[in-house]
Structure 1
Amino acid sequence: MINLRQLLIIAVAAASMISFALLPVAAAPPSGPASAAASTYRNAVSDAFSDTFADPSVIQGKDGWWYAFATADPLYEGQPSGAMHIARTKDWSHWDYRGTVFDDDNRPSYAEPDAGLWAPDIRYIDGRYVLYFTVTDTTLNDGGDPGVGVATADSPEGPWQPTDEPIIAPRERDDGSFLGTIDPAGFTDVDGQNYLYFGGYNGGFWGTKISSDGLTTESGDYTQVTATDRYEGGYVVRHDGWYYFMGSSANCCAGPATGYTVYTGRSRSPLGPFTDAEDRSLTDPYVGGTNLIRQNGNRWIGTGHHAIMTDAAGRDFIVYHAIDRKNPWLNQPFGVNRRPMLIDRIDWIDGWPRARAGAGPSVTAQPAPVTGSGLGITADDPAAGGLRGLRGGPQDPQAGATARLTGSARTVQQAAADSVLFTADLDSVTDRTSVRFGSTGNRVTVSVDPDRSELVVRVDTGDQTRIGRDRLVGALSDRTGWQRLTVRVEGRNVQAWLSESGLADPGAEVRLTADDLDLPIAPVQFTGAALIDNLTIRPVAAQATELVPTPERGALISSDEFTGDDLADWSWVRPEASSAEVTDGRLSWPVQDGDLSDPDNRGAVLLHKPLAEPDADWMVETRLDLDLGEDEVRNFQQAGLVAYRSDTDFARLDKVAIAGTRATEFGRLLVGSGDGRTAWGAAIEATPSRGSTWLRLAHHRNAAGEHQFRSAVSTDGEQWTWGAVWTFSDGTVPRIGLVTQGGSEPATTAAFDYVRFYSASWPG
């Protein structure tokens, strides 16, 4: 993908126990290539089989393996691009590469020979696997016309058969250019309705209803769910009754200056409107978004274009790509960005998904997703042990070894825990099939009833009975293919889902609350008639309840309140390009034409004198007023703070107009890692105010001697949202400055109320 600013300019212009409660955080995986697999992993998880594995999408196949799909980059230095890649794992630490989705024999007929096949999204719909993907250039028009393709297979490894035409055709503007019809993501709602989301910076993200087999749109009506120029790499999940749209923002691929970041909004409807934790809309020109993951100052930058998986303990993980800031290129000098696949846990805090409770990408060993089952059950061969009364079933073409339930079965070991997560794939459900936890008077029973086409949850506590039902529709009602039953009992909450893909996209859902429910729940019992596979029973993983600490402001070191008429503590870079003046207790500075990120059009910089102890932890703060209008294109008018070492080595935190949207952008420009290339990229930060916006940069020197700056934004001067970290090499501490730049038309003026320096504490 190209630089976001370039793209926007183009757009504008053209997871066996003794006691169930004592199960380890991560147990040995089911049978697979690594029988003694570790219970931890280290990022990047794709290192064993590739140098890059971008835009990952994941699914647990009906054979028990987790499959990951990636965009069509070369796997290694010097190799040609593959037509989207496939790898698989049982434990998320050990991987097998399985080849490509397409080759010369099955490449989509409507894709131009040199078209990129990007951004796969994998689902299981109507008894088969469905893969959505981007075709960057089709044969349907003269060129530059991206669309969304779709292919099907009986196995995640293929063979894959594309349909004869895109599911979302290229969308042409009145001027003959084409909207960004890219980055698809599927979803199934609790009423069984399938959806497809697609889009990017060039036109916004959109959603539409699609057919029960997932292969065609229903009406051609598309609903815009994000602002035109903010998000790509979208993904949708359902959690606790909310729909969450998650999207990546800023530039995916600027080498060592890549600031890709994932934000989310939620809605009570799958088509929105989506709003963030501050109730800001994702379609507003001042675009909303609550951060899910962003770079934190370690080796990983450009964290984005993700998928979500849930392990056997109910822990959600974000699966994404990132860039090693010291090894950013696949090929030198001017090659493909090296974007390996990473995973990190998600904590749901106050209703919002946060990667490692806000800590961001990991570099140290982390607990792996929990795979396999407790209670002596072999997840992908449940008849092998752990259950009395369950016998071997037929060998299934998709699932392999299965177990057959006819009548009743129960776990051999007793479950002793205050929570339980049960998952099982079901097929050939010919009679009401139930899983039951607990004993008489304190029991949870979840049933799939094929005759009534219902998912039923019954909670019996003492003399009270509560019952919840949801209708099974579409493939769930037709009992076409494997279906995943998930039951979660935690505290007083009982939830049950029936899904095809098992990707937080339930086709049926029942939620009950029972204040008098008394766990532990022992034993686990089954009744009915069905085939069963991929059976896991685990305690529910604990969630963090608070975000990790952020930098804290200390005592005031110095300040400039702009009460005088001079700038004694300041000096200019290119003073001839500035018309700033101090009036009425403010520094007023008309936005200038020059821009530091453009080597041919350098703007003025107003630099503060160095601090007395520049190597210490400190932060700088300013209050900024800058009218950027509402909807019109004003690329790229901006103003704010800059940590400046030189014209080719700075980090800039600005309120900025980007096409029709308004943002705060923490940009980085530097000479790339050893290749002599100057790179520009940015992280999009918290939403600015239409009025005053407060900006902070916190400085820290890490153990390697590098200088790190973390951004923060506030709309009231009290509540701060901390953002990304940019790192400078060891050496002179960058000086703090002010900038206005990006275009003088229409005329607008930035007003800085003050610049204050404080001591600071940097967590960790």
Structure 2
Amino acid sequence: MSAASKRALERNYHKNEEWFGHFRKQTLKGDFAYEPGVVRRDPSKVLFIDGLYYTWYSKSVGESYGFGTGDPDAKVFPWDKTQIWYASSKDGETWKELGMAVGEGQKGDYDDRSLFTPEILAYNGKYYLVYQTIKAPYTNRVKNQVGMAIADSPHGPWKKLDKPILSAADNGIWDGNEDNRFLVKKQGDFDSHKVHDPTLVIHGDKFHLYYKGERMGERTTAGGREIRWGVAIADNPQGPYIKSESNPITQSGHELAIWNYRDGVAMISCKDGPEQGTMQYSNDGINFEIMSYIREVPDAIGTVMSLDGDKYPGAALEWGLSHEYHIPEGKQWFEGYNYITKFTFKPNRGSKRSESVMVQKEKD
């Protein structure tokens, strides 16, 4: 038997047909249509409250210039100098921006430069926003943290916790003083440089804070960038969050969408790493197995919490929000702007789920 055939059997390529499907994307109306000079990106999960859909996202304005300008106040990337804003919609198609939810802190605070990549959790009558933060100055070697704000209403007011709920590991060593993130004497843990893209999921009676880790002196792997994810677990939504001894729990994922599926946790991975573009499942929220390979996974998926995600593996992805880049001609990616879009996901033809849907439609 060839090596390829052995891998196919070991990795169950011939199974899990109900986990396969395909995405489609579409533009949105209202304030989520592309707006020149404005960045709207990283939409959170979508909550359905009193007849309206709500989402939270990163917003900034103006051009981005990258590192090396010599001006510490110059905007570096589209997610630099951002705040957390929110919007609502009656139908998920036309969105109205409602204002800023959470802004940067006072000078000297851990979040005085930028807040971005939010996620939302509704629990016991309260709303919990988690997001990553940057403290000025924004350099190649800056270490970000994860903050939290809490409100009794989707409209706020939001009260920020005094301290971050998650920080990068402190066990790497830079080589020299040059502002170069690739020069290290010791790389440290998988999250020794960055903790990004936080998302909160309740699993069992615990709160799981999933996050992307970036390591000091990042290297290139079989799948490109050395990107992996970890989880920190707490007994209540405010923490304290303790990083799992099993971290990292993925070997890929520039961005992940994570949701409860039946008795476990499912995820889908976007870009970076040898397992990019996979849908995975875990009974315990820590040990994930690859269930399928999905092409063209949208960036920064925000799932819709009101969907019945237990109907079949991809049901939580039937529709949701993501973001796209608009890069002016002749510009680099970081000089572009983002706008929020919609995606849909459907099972592949021939799958058991697809066949059952077609039979039901014929009966109707």
TM-score range, shorter chain: 0.5 to 0.7
Mapped contact 1:249–1:263 kept (Cα < 8 A): no
Q: Which runs of 5+ in 1 are unaligned?
A: 1-40, 252-260, 278-289, 296-302, 358-490, 492-541, 546-764
Deviations 1:284-310 (A, max 9, x none): xxxxxx334507xxxxxxx31212115
What one-letter code is carried by the residue in structure 1 that aligns with 2:90?
K
Change (3 A) 1:174 1:332: closer
Matched, 1:275 2:289: yes
Counterpart position of 1:184: 198
Mapped contact 1:307–1:320 kept (Cα < 8 A): yes
Counterpart position of 2:345: 346
- Structure 1 residue 64: deviation in Å? 3.0
Aligned partners of 1:144 and 1:119: how far apart in 2?
17
Matched, 1:121 2:119: yes
Counterpart position of 1:231: 253
Change (3 A) 1:232 1:64: same
Aligned partners of 1:207 and 1:135: how far apart in 2?
18
- Structure 1 residue 179: deviation in Å? 2.7
Counterpart position of 2:57: 70
Counterpart position of 2:234: 210
Alignment of 1:218-617 (within 5 A): 218-227=241-250, 230-250=252-272, 262-272=277-287, 274-277=288-291, 290-294=292-296, 303-309=298-304, 316-323=318-325, 327-329=326-328, 336-348=335-347, 542=357
Counterpart position of 1:100: 100
Mapped contact 1:207–1:271 kept (Cα < 8 A): yes
- Structure 1 residue 225: deviation in Å? 4.5
Mapped contact 2:32–2:94 kept (Cα < 8 A): no
- Structure 1 residue 143: deviation in Å? 5.9
Mapped contact 1:181–1:198 kept (Cα < 8 A): yes
Counterpart position of 1:196: 209
Query: Does 1 or 2 have the higher relative contact order (CA < 8 Å, sep 6+)?
Result: 2
- Structure 1 residue 117: deviation in Å? 1.6
- Structure 1 residue 336: deviation in Å? 3.5
Change (3 A) 1:145 1:179: same
SS of residue matched to 2:238:
coil
Change (3 A) 1:81 1:544: farther
Aligned partners of 2:359 and 2:209: how far apart in 1?
32
Aligned partners of 2:239 and 2:324: how far apart in 1?
32
Mapped contact 2:48–2:305 kept (Cα < 8 A): no
- Structure 1 residue 199: deviation in Å? 1.5
Counterpart position of 2:40: 53
Number of equivalenced pairs: 280
Aligned partners of 1:340 and 1:543: how far apart in 2?
34
- Structure 1 residue 219: deviation in Å? 3.9
Counterpart position of 1:152: 150
- Answer with 1 or 2: which has the greater Rg: 1
- Structure 1 residue 155: deviation in Å? 1.8
Q: Which runs of 5+ in 2 are unaligned?
A: 1-23, 65-74, 175-186, 216-226, 310-314
Mapped contact 1:145–1:170 kept (Cα < 8 A): yes
Change (3 A) 1:180 1:42: closer
Aligned partners of 1:543 and 1:109: how far apart in 2?
59
Aligned partners of 1:544 and 1:338: how far apart in 2?
43
Aligned partners of 2:329 and 2:135: how far apart in 1?
24
Mapped contact 1:200–1:233 kept (Cα < 8 A): no
Aligned partners of 1:71 and 1:129: how far apart in 2?
17
- Structure 1 residue 329: deviation in Å? 4.0
What one-letter code is carried by the residue in structure 2 that aligns with 1:144?
V
Change (3 A) 1:94 1:223: same
Alignment of 1:5-16 (within 5 A): none
* Residue 136 (structure 1) aligned to one of 134, 137, 143: 134
Aligned partners of 1:347 and 1:544: how far apart in 2?
16
Mapped contact 2:230–2:243 kept (Cα < 8 A): no
Change (3 A) 1:311 1:159: closer
Runs of 4+ in 1 over 6 A off after TM superposition: 75-80
Deviations 1:335-386 (A, max 9, x none): 5333322222223569x9x9xx8xxxxxxxxxxxxxxxxxxxxxxxxxxxxx
Counterpart position of 1:173: 171
Change (3 A) 1:49 1:276: closer
Aligned partners of 1:291 and 1:318: how far apart in 2?
19
- Structure 1 residue 73: deviation in Å? 3.2
SS of residue matched to 1:194:
strand
- Structure 1 residue 182: deviation in Å? 0.9
Identity %: 15
Change (3 A) 1:126 1:543: farther
SS of residue matched to 1:181:
strand
- Structure 1 residue 543: deviation in Å? 7.4
Aligned partners of 1:544 and 1:294: how far apart in 2?
28
Mapped contact 1:206–1:226 kept (Cα < 8 A): yes
- TM-score normalised by L of structure 2: 0.64
Aligned partners of 1:188 and 1:108: how far apart in 2?
34
SS of residue matched to 1:204:
strand
Deviations 1:541-594 (A, max 9, x none): x4799xxxxxxxxxxxxxxxxxxxxxxxxxxxxxxxxxxxxxxxxxxxxxxxxx
What one-letter code is carried by the residue in structure 2 that aligns with 1:238?
N
What one-letter code is carried by the residue in structure 2 that aligns with 1:180?
K
Aligned partners of 1:187 and 1:108: how far apart in 2?
32
> More helix by proportion, 1 or 2?
2
Counterpart position of 1:86: 86
What one-letter code is carried by the residue in structure 1 that aligns with 2:206?
Q
- Structure 1 residue 69: deviation in Å? 1.4
What one-letter code is carried by the residue in structure 2 that aligns with 1:320?
S
- Structure 1 residue 333: deviation in Å? 7.1
What one-letter code is carried by the residue in structure 1 that aligns with 2:267?
F
Mapped contact 2:46–2:320 kept (Cα < 8 A): no
Change (3 A) 1:336 1:76: closer
Deviations 1:208-242 (A, max 9, x none): 21232x111354445324445x3132232122444
What one-letter code is carried by the residue in structure 1 that aligns with 2:266?
Y
SS of residue matched to 2:260:
strand
Change (3 A) 1:73 1:167: same
Mapped contact 1:208–1:222 kept (Cα < 8 A): no
Change (3 A) 1:238 1:108: farther
Mapped contact 1:72–1:117 kept (Cα < 8 A): no
Aligned partners of 2:97 and 2:53: how far apart in 1?
12
Change (3 A) 1:238 1:333: closer
Change (3 A) 1:204 1:70: same
**RMSD value over aligned CA atoms?**
4.0
